[in-house]
Structure 1
């Protein structure tokens, strides 16, 4: 089967004047993490402000021996910029229809699962139930099907969310600037886009059909969102799809260059690892162990100390509780990656995108944050 060129935009995709993608890919390709020594790591740790080169050293194998030192420094930076606050939120999946064929994702269009799209009444019911837990921030997610979850549908979900929550995030398919403007007008504050892997050759092998196959359109999504008025943008690579050090370096460089170009933008990171999916529990990442995940998170905290950072329910509860006091600033709670998971029984939901490891509810996560000597925060924005 002849496939679409993954580097060529489709007709309806907006092209913006930006060289950030080219800079990131060039930097990633030149990144040789084996060249860094213990002395390079020590120099990076000794600095108050760290360069991209320092970040590269902190991600290298040489830095593994300094993980405790990195964690101590990261904890200092986290305290300096965020204090003891840990922000809480939950995701809500409103549709799992998807037009993409991504071989690692449970929602992919060739996977035989129960597909569901919540109507406005069901969305409001879900959001009411979530709001009763005390949460004031929500992240709206859909499968990547513009046909089944068009911009108007997502916009209406944002409007409903704005009735119950002070912060509304989106993790949906990439859009054009005018579409992001519409969603911002409907109440969306920020967007999250996982680039999955920054290796365009590997990306092409993993994304076989659909709009997501187009690598540059996805990579420029955060910039289009900021041009559309979004206050914040989040970056992530799905660790384990390819060389995790290079992907982590590229994600950090991507965020760094966006911050330089848009200094007002609120920047944040997610650091998800690959998880088993429905109908395929044999999907396993290239070895990305918890110590290496901690190294990545500490390196990001030391490089961009003012950036937010989310720790996913893909990780064990014990790891999440540990990392919120060191590098992460945000934690999800009461999570379901199925459709209708906050009010309906499991057998009545659409199927899950992936398996989670931390199933604790909001009260349990709230208590765990307090046990760490930290302060759970539901919202830190005051709207005038």
Structure 2
């Protein structure tokens, strides 16, 4: 952990040559004039053209900027309905009908940046600052595990007290925790830690690669350069390109599972969708793989931030649904994450549009999962949550929708990351393993943590899923039906963490 003065530390974060190496002719991959031109030229797409684009998306081919811009500009309600139906069909073709659950853990709200929309910004006097110790991280992890979670994303402010060494130590702390399950049928632990952290130099990213992180998530926030400059006035985050190429550096450091996103409400939503597409395209161009997930959080109220409630670009629910629909169609192989920023009603609607992951039982206070410290940590949230229900409640709702909940981490531990998982996703093979592992991990949850109500609806759904597996030729040809039934029986008899 760095002992350096925060201002001095911040001045040394950015390494210019680790930006310049990715530029083409001195330019980055966001050409704003080109984006505006694409949106203008595709302003009135014909129904036939839209249906041809939908057909391409269903073949699990990434759309190009003109095609994506055309989808963004559709106004006909019937065509929009066709787009939404196709989006769900694409999701099911690639990922089947499961929803992966995770929990965030906020470790620190100290920050050297001054982002105008964020409660963590360094000049926000209303924010109560705290960095969790390793013992506190272990205690927080215990509470997360006791809800039934197996996946965690750990979140850090950008500060010398939460540098790469602190991150590595905190990830070890999370992995070290084991708990007896709620119903006493098994042992609980976090099987995969992903991180949301500030851009780092390649040498620091290598430390995280060595410790065994899952996905590295960095959101550009906004791809519009003037807006970016205005709302990031100070700190390393004020450098647009340092952030823009954060995931390129991660690839060079050996982290091949990447997550991008934008904070919708800072600038025009159509422009931001196009920015996410161009980001995807440049990762594909330079490394041969795109992002594993894309996130699309909306701006919500943050303590001490006027921008968080007064932005002229606030996204409506209907616009939000279009964002999710177009992203699913534009980058059909990627996972889509809808977060607890969203209220239950709209969250349920966009899950039906092709989302693959969500969080539940979420608490974003620093130390907020531990009831003994909850009252002491008021005013430590980065933003306002819309979804505050327990994991069990959300899983029950998802099951009522006919979707199976998954806690699978098999892909990471079987080496299905990077180009391997991208090939399996575009060939619609990974989703078949997702289906099997969703059944197994959902069975674990029902045995170990579920309420009686959720267990009953969940068991019926599992039997339906297993019957589908028995009828699908792929599973028969690869002897996976027998393996699934064997593992299912072993889990029923008390074994845990079996995966394919």
TM-score by length of 1: 0.91
User: 1:274 Cα deviation (Å)?
Assistant: 0.7
Per the alignment, residue 5 of structure 1 pairs with: none
Larger % of helix: which? Answer: 2
Within the candidate set 17, 30, 38, 1:31 is matched to: 38
Say which SS state the counterpart of residue 340 (structure 1) adopts.
Answer: coil
Query: Does the 8 Å contact 2:341/2:384 carry over to 1?
Result: yes
Q: Write the deviation string for residues 86-143 of structure 1: whole angstroms up to 9, x where unpaired.
A: 1000110000001111111111111111101000000011112211222111001011
Distance change in 2, residues 1:33/1:240 (3 Å): farther
Tell me the distance in 2 between the aligned counterparts of 1:231 and 1:256: 16
Aligned pair partner of 1:279 in 283, 289, 304: 304
Paired residue for 2:28?
22
Matched, 1:71 2:71: no
2:244 matched residue in structure 1: 219
Matches within 5 A, 1:313-324: 313-324=340-351
Mapped pair 1:269 → 2:294 = yes
Q: How does 1:1-384 map to 2 (within 5 A)?
A: 12=15, 14-15=18-19, 17-19=21-23, 22-26=28-32, 27-33=34-40, 35-39=42-46, 40-47=49-56, 48=59, 49=61, 50-60=63-73, 62=75, 66-112=79-125, 113-145=127-159, 147-163=160-176, 164-264=189-289, 266-280=291-305, 283-285=309-311, 286-344=313-371, 345-349=373-377, 351-381=380-410, 383=413
2:102 touches 2:358 (CA, 8 Å); kept in 1?
yes
Report deviation, 1:25.
2.8
Flag the 1:313–1:55 CA change in 2: closer, same or farther, 3 A: same
Look up the SS of the partner of 1:197 in the other structure: coil
Cα pair distance change 1:346/1:34, threshold 3 Å: farther
SS at 2:153 equivalent: strand
Q: Matched residues in 2 for 1:237 and 1:359: separation?
A: 22
Q: Is the 8 A contact 1:74 1:327 kept in 2?
A: yes
Q: Distance in 2 between matches of 1:291 and 1:94?
A: 34
Deviations 1:316-336 (A, max 9, x none): 111112222321100101111
Matches of 2:231 and 2:289, distance apart in 1: 34
- Offset of residue 278 of structure 1: 0.9
* Runs of at least 5 residues in structure 1 that lack an aligned partner in the other structure: 1-7
Closer/same/farther in 2, CA of residues 63 and 131 from structure 1, 3 Å limit: farther
User: Once the 2 structures are TM-superposed, how far is the Cα of residue 348 of structure 1 from its aligned partner?
Assistant: 1.5
Q: Structure 1: how far apart are the matches of 2:243 and 2:135?
A: 31
CA contact (8 A) 1:233 1:266 kept: yes
Q: Which has the larger share of strand?
A: 1
Report SS of the residue matched to 1:230: coil
Residue aligned with 1:140, SS: strand
Higher relative contact order (CA 8 A, sep 6+): 1
Instruction: Give the Å deviation of 1:16.
Output: 5.2
* Shift in Å, 1:199: 1.0
Q: Which moved more, 1:82-91 or 1:288-297?
A: 288-297
Moved more, 152-161 or 209-218: 152-161
Quote the RMSD (CA, aligned, Å). Answer: 2.2
**SS in structure 1 at match of 2:30:** helix
